[in-house]
């Protein structure tokens, strides 16, 4: 531990400056306008891996954005850790709500404000720097492979093709990912599951053209009103989702598992204060942790239609749209839930509108083992660097590729995230605590050390 602390101390400023340089790339994968920037980010990450001491560094081309690969094989007999992360970020919009520019990292109150600060540049870069530390101090105890992709925020569809085509190259013993949250720095935790995702877009069409809302209003169904009613009908008075069969495959937690989950520290007043809401909302009979970690949900992510410009325009629109996501838990599947949604949504549409449903990307839910060598290594690493045993939790977000690692590579994942739910991922003013960044760089070498040790090396 001493050599770790000393290395971080000696390189403190540079470690931060390098993260800032990475954060300045506007690597927004969803918006074609940033194509050149995303490609430049991949080259930059590759160079940083080379500088840190990785061999066979490659910017692997795909039909979309490239995957950055690099490795250090010290001894074929030793175990191999495959580190996954993503260099792409979510769009910064709404840009006017940022207090400082999203791609000009700024420190306020010990926190780095920038798009990607936590999700996932600040987190995957800790692995690059921890690797550098192990190389420089001659303490790398196992083999390491890096796979940093550029399309996580848009569904990783090209990564799944890459994984299927490169099983040998990606051979490893475990996947290690820092792209999730901890409860808090005082209550370090390890996520032991991720929810799946089904994401659909719906279009409701009424009359064949926009109409004068005075001339036709009152005589023709307004698609916005109809869509709103359909969406409102997706939850009942207990906030259960009304799609028939939606919960059929859901594995209920045992009373012991529920108790364990609900024992994690949780301050409801603080939670509400952070979000500025007077009351929480959710499925009756479940706690907040259960609602976000172990129960499926349905959310409207966006809704639009009609006139939304300046001033007033009297119009009865022809179309209304919404983007709807469903978070899934074991053993729901993306395909089955998408089908159930589609069937139900079409069935509740009144005859006065036409409904079109377009599925977007999705992913399967995962639960990660807590009895594996790798999980124990993560526990030991966190216990040592934080001075506290980590609490197991279930994450509400999705990293669809994790289920694919298991299906295609037969690899389990350890989710050793250092973010906080309050870091404003995907929101304006995303942030990452400088403390967490250094803490991550200090904890990761301990993971490798204990993983090698517990594997018999
Ligand atoms: N890193 C997040 C997922 C995450 C965040 C998991 C916090 C657990 C805790 C990831 O980058 C992400 O945003 N995933 C998307 C899904 C993707 C297909 C766009 C998500 O969860 O919405
Ligand atoms: Mn992420
Ligand atoms: Mn994300």
Chain segment 83-129, per-residue pLDDT in tens: 999 999 999 999 999 999 999 999 999 999 999 999 999 999 999 99
Nearest of 78, 27, 29, 100 to residue 428 by alpha carbon: 100
pLDDT (tens digit per residue) in 12-46: 999 999 999 999 999 999 999 999 999 999 999 99
Q: Which residue is listed with tokens 């999700």?
A: 119
Task: List 145's β-bridge partners, or say none.
Answer: 71, 82
Contacts of 253 (CB under 8 A, 6+ apart): 261, 290, 294
Q: For 218-271, what is each residue's pLDDT tens digit?
A: 999 999 999 999 999 999 999 999 999 999 999 999 999 999 899 999 999 999
> Tens digits of per-residue pLDDT, 377-429?
999 999 999 999 999 999 899 999 999 999 999 999 999 999 999 999 999 99
119 lines ligand 1 (CB under 6 A): yes
64 closest CA partner among 108, 16, 32, 25: 32
What whole-number distance in Å separates Cα of residue 457 and Cα of residue 173? 14
Ligand 1 pocket test: pick from 157, 397, 414 the residue with the most ligand atoms within 8 Å of its Cβ.
397
Calpha distance 260→239 (Å, rounded): 24
**Ligand 1 pocket, mutate which of 398, 400, 418 (most atoms under 8 A from CB):** 398
The two three-digit tokens of residue 234, written as one number: 């997706």
Q: How far apart are the first and last CA of the chain?
A: 18
Q: What is the pLDDT of residue 58?
A: 98
Q: Which of 45, 43, 41 is nearest to 29 (CA)?
A: 41
* 399 CA from centroid of ligand 1 (Å): 5
Closest ligand to 115 CA? 3
Task: Describe the crossing of helices 12-23 and 121-136 by its angle, rounded to 10 degrees.
Answer: 140
CA 235, CA 297: separation in Å to the nearest integer?
10
Distance from the alpha carbon of residue 199 to the mean position of ligand 2, in angstroms: 17
Measured CA to CA, the distance from residue 76 to residue 352 in angstroms comes to 66
- For the Cβ of 206 lying below 6 angstroms from any atom of ligand 1, the answer is no
- Whole-angstrom Cα distance, residue 128 to residue 147? 11
Neighbouring CB atoms inside 10 A of 190's CB total 23
Q: DSSP letters along 67-125, please? A: EEEEEE-S-TTS-EEEEEEE--B----SGGG-SS-TTS-EEETTEEESTTTTTTHHHHH
Distance, CA of 437 to chain centre: 18
Residues with CB under 5 A from ligand 2 (ion): 119-120, 179
Task: Please tell me the predicted confidence (pLDDT) of residue 314.
Answer: 97
Q: Is the CB of 395 under 6 A from ligand 1?
A: yes
Read off the pLDDT of each residue in 47-53 and give the average, rounded to a whole number: 98
Going by pLDDT thresholds of 50, 70 and 90, the confidence category of residue 361 is confident
pLDDT confidence bin for 1, thresholds 50/70/90: confident
Q: Which residues pair with 15 in a beta bridge?
A: none
Q: Indicate which ligand has the atom closest to the C-alpha of 90.
A: 3
> Is the predicted pLDDT of residue 431 greater than 90, yes or no?
yes
Instruction: Considering only the C-alpha atoms of the chain, give the largest distance between any 2 of them, rounded to a whole number of Å.
Output: 80
Q: Looking up tokens 């599951």, which residue turns up? A: 193
Question: Could you give the domains of the chain?
Answer: 2-194+365-454 (3.40.630.10), 196-250+296-363 (3.30.70.360)
Residue 33 CA, ligand 1 centroid: distance in Å? 22
What are the pLDDT digits (tens) for 189-214? 999 999 999 999 999 999 999 999 99
Q: What is the pLDDT of residues 298-354, one digit of tens each?
A: 999 999 999 999 999 999 999 999 999 999 999 999 999 999 999 999 999 999 999
Distance from Cα 281 to the centre of ligand 2, integer Å: 25
**Ligand 1 atom 20: the closest Cα is on which residue?**
398
| Pocket of ligand 1 contains residue 400 by CB under 6 Å | yes
What pLDDT is attached to residue 43? 98
- Spacing, Cα 79 to ligand 2 middle (Å): 26
179 Cα–ligand 2 center, Å? 5
CB 158 within 8 A of CB 65: yes
- Using DSSP's 3-state secondary structure scheme, residue 320 falls into strand
Find out whether the beta carbon of 425 lies less than 6 Å from any atom of ligand 1: yes
Closest ligand 1 atom, residue 155 Cα: 18
CB distance 149 to ligand 1 below 6 Å: no
Residue minimizing CA distance to atom 6 of ligand 1: 397
């Amino acid at each position: 531990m001493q050599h770790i602390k000393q290395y971080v101390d000696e390189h403190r400023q540079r470690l931060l400056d390098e993260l800032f340089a990475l954060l300045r790339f506007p690597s927004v994968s969803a918006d074609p306008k940033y194509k050149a920037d995303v490609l430049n980010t991949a080259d930059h990450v590759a160079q940083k891996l080379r500088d840190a001491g990785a061999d066979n560094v490659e910017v692997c081309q795909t039909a979309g954005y490239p995957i950055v690969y690099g490795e250090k094989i010290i001894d074929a007999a030793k175990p191999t850790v495959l580190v996954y992360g993503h260099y792409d970020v979510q769009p910064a919009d709404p840009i006017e709500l940022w207090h400082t520019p999203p791609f000009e990292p700024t420190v306020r109150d010990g926190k780095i404000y920038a798009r990607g600060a936590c999700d996932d540049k600040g987190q995957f870069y800790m692995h690059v720097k921890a690797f550098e530390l192990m190389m420089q101090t001659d303490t790398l105890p196992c083999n390491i492979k890096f796979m940093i992709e550029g399309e996580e925020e848009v569904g990783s569809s090209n990564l799944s093709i890459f994984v299927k085509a490169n099983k040998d190259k990606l051979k490893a013993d475990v996947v290690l990912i820092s792209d999730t949250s901890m409860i808090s720095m005082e209550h370090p935790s390890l996520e032991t599951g991720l929810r799946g995702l089904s994401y659909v877009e719906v279009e409701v069409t009424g009359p064949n053209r926009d109409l004068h809302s005075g001339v036709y209003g009152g005589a023709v169904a307004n698609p916005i009103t109809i869509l709103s009613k359909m969406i409102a009908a997706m939850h009942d008075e207990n906030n259960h989702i009304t799609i028939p069969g939606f919960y059929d495959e859901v594995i209920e937690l045992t009373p012991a598992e529920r108790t364990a989950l609900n024992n994690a520290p949780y301050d409801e007043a603080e939670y509400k204060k952070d979000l500025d809401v007077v009351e929480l909302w959710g499925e009756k009979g479940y706690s907040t942790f259960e609602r976000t970690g172990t129960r499926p949900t349905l959310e409207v992510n966006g809704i639009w239609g009609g006139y939304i410009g300046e001033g007033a325009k009297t119009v009865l629109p022809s179309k209304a749209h919404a983007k709807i996501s469903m978070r899934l838990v074991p053993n729901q599947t993306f395909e089955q839930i998408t089908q159930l949604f589609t069937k139900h949504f079409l069935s509740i549409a009144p005859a006065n509108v036409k409904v079109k449903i377009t599925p977007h990307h999705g992913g399967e839910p995962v639960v990660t083992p807590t009895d594996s060598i790798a999980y124990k290594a993560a526990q030991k690493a966190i216990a040592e660097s934080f001075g506290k045993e980590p609490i197991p939790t279930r994450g509400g977000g999705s990293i669809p590729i994790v289920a694919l690692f298991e299906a295609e590579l037969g690899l389990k994942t350890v989710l050793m995230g250092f973010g906080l739910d309050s870091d404003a991922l995907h929101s304006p003013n995303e942030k990452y605590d400088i403390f967490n960044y250094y803490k991550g760089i200090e904890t990761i070498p301990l993971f490798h050390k204990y993983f090698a040790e517990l594997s018999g090396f």
